[in-house]
């Protein structure tokens, strides 16, 4: 099991954009399961929507992608030196509203990986109900150097 501090060793995301609280299952190169506890204290609920808070679908996809990123980045020889960049979404469907108090469980499985490109299939569940499903694509990349090049 990976806690938030462990996830931050793998992904560059930080508050308010780290959307995964815990990885409960991880089979590197095969599948991962992650949890997101949706609370009323989250900043998006001030505008989405006042009096009727609904967790935005794009954030459900982003959280699913973060679980997919953990899956793709774990088990690599140089895992701390790469980023999993979100490359695309196919077959996304939203089946249920997600509201404060819900717990999202993301289940992602690797469909394929060829070189720096990976594709996962994911579902987001609230209890036994399907909230979202999608195929997500990633490009693995090295982060840019922090130091600018020196002119000669």
Residue 43 lies in a domain: yes
Residue 72 lies in a domain: yes
Residue 113 lies in a domain: yes
35: CATH: 3.10.129.10
Q: Give the lowest-confidence range in 11-15, 85-89, 120-124, 140-144.
A: 140-144
Which tens digits make up the pLDDT trace of 40-50? 999 999 999 99
Q: Is the pLDDT of residue 67 over 90?
A: yes
pLDDT of res. 75:
78
Percent of the chain clearing pLDDT 90 (strictly above):
87
* pLDDT category of residue 143 using cuts at 50, 70 and 90: confident
pLDDT of res. 76:
73
Which tens digits make up the pLDDT trace of 11-21? 999 999 999 99
Q: Tokens 């995964």 belong to which residue?
A: 20
Q: Is the pLDDT of residue 38 over 90?
A: yes
Structural domain including 97 reads 2-141
Number of domains in the chain: 1
DSSP letter string, the chain: -EEHHHHHHH----TTS----EEEEEETTTEEEEEEE--TTSGGGGTS-TTS----HHHHHHHHHHHHHHHHHTT-TTGGG-EEEEEEEEEEEE-S---TT-EEEEEEEEEEEETTEEEEEEEEEETTEEEEEEEEEEEEEPPPPSSPPPP-
Q: Is 48 a catalytic residue?
A: yes
pTM of the model: 0.92
Which tens digits make up the pLDDT trace of 74-86? 977 665 689 999 9
Residue 109 lies in a domain: yes
Q: Among residues 48, 96, 105, 113, which one is catalytic?
A: 48
């Amino acid at each position: 099991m990976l806690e938030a501090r462990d996830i931050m060793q793998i992904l560059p995301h930080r508050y308010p954009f780290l959307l995964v609280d815990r990885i409960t299952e991880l089979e590197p190169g095969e599948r991962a399961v992650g949890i997101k506890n949706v609370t009323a204290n989250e900043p998006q609920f001030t505008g989405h929507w006042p009096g009727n808070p609904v967790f935005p679908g794009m954030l459900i996809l982003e959280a699913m992608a973060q679980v997919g990123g953990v899956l793709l980045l774990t088990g690599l020889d140089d895992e701390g030196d790469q980023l999993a960049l979100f490359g695309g979404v196919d077959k996304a469907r939203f089946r249920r509203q997600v509201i404060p108090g819900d717990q999202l469980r993301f289940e992602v499985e690797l469909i394929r990986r060829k070189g720096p490109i990976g594709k996962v299939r994911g579902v987001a569940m609230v209890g036994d109900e399907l909230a979202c499903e999608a195929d997500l694509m990633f490009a693995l990349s090295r982060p840019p150097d922090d130091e600018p090049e020196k002119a000669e």
